[in-house]
Structure 1
């Protein structure tokens, strides 16, 4: 009997050692464990066609797919909990407005400022298993959509988002939206654009998009940072990094130079992400005529994408990534304005 009791005790000890439960508190799981507890984040919309004269609503959904309660902390201004990344049909990022507190996102109830007798301006929302939290956001309050139309009658946009479960106390924790939203915006106040004849004899751009990426990554490999940064439009590129994107959008004019210095130091951190080698994947067709047509099409649109396979060292291990760089034509040159990364192995 004593041996059986000892065996059961050892079995329970081994089980909890191999499968530890997330650290929890009286309100549910701690914020650090929201990923392991399967908090899912996605967006939806009631229509894909919108007008600049009316609100452009997006529905934000948070679902607890785990088996334990999960706690999120809603800021008094919900726009502090979420960062939207909007791209136009040319792949350019639409800059957000200065951070404002919309009337719809404000709640006047006392518990926002008195939560746990501290000044976090947040309240805790406990999501039970399979429970859904939903909030509606008007994108007109986040972006100047009329200006983003650039006098067009109609334009396509795509929307990504990042959610921060506890933006003030734990701003580094975030969740990417599981989907993106594509929608069409009609500018009913814009007159029909006048036809402008195409200029002739235009001097060709000095560099192709592939050449720009090659020079940028070569400068990084050789740690020539002054050359590296001159190929990047940093105010757009910073929005591709969630932690810095949030800091940049919240920063005042006085704080922005400090945030940008932090971002540059992060990119220059060779110990954390040292580049070993890279390969630019073919983008243009092998046929010379088709390749020339592709280059002229890029010049006309003013945007281009270049894919790169790169090997970097992380914590002593070499890992291979697939990078998709987004470039924008500026004068006779190209500048990198965004990047998406996928781990290959």
Structure 2
């Protein structure tokens, strides 16, 4: 029996990916032992501007038929705590991004890091989930125009040092802010993009299949409400399911279309007095076998930090036909 367990341990160790060599004190448990927790990660989008936080959600789900507890050492006083929840960011070459976590920079022993922290015990009922959101910029120094990969690690009790790895890995990129101020000899010119300019960039990106740019001008978690085939599922889903639905929705938007955009022009733009929302009407002509079909799109945009992002769309076939 001991020989059988030893063989199983060697097989498991041989299959551990390079990710795990980065995480503090990974302990591989007996394969017979099954954790009650399921770990996944999610992002609301995969392209961020340089001025935005790069947030990742680590979703913990109790996959058992009884209530289960774990201890959280990431207290509110530690904005870049790296204990219970540990996302790992790597570039496309497999190198970890430059960490900014103090105890990692000082190579402190992990036991010392958690020794003086008072844990909070959280209990999840069967099938209940909790979501921990982390800004990766508080943990890493991230550069623009590099494709990064992120994977999540979760310690049910950091002092025990047994770790669970997320079932999925996500990719993301940071790009230059579209409305970023640049030094100029001409002073006083406002550089931010108008709502109509954002819509032009969005439609241009779709026409050119430039999806990295397309998602820069969209808030998917709000835009999804304009699509009946997704909205009910999304509204009724729990936090972990919502992340998966957003991923499916993004894939739906990127699908190849036979009715591709041939041309478009902005008809009008209006901004609410408090500048909280804007509306842009656009005439869009899409390909059809006989002749292009003309639509009028009305985009709703909302301010997110200093930028306008599309949050809704209404489409009408010209000549009064509803799309």
How high is the TM-score relative to the length of structure 1?
Answer: 0.35
Structure with greater helix share of residues: 1
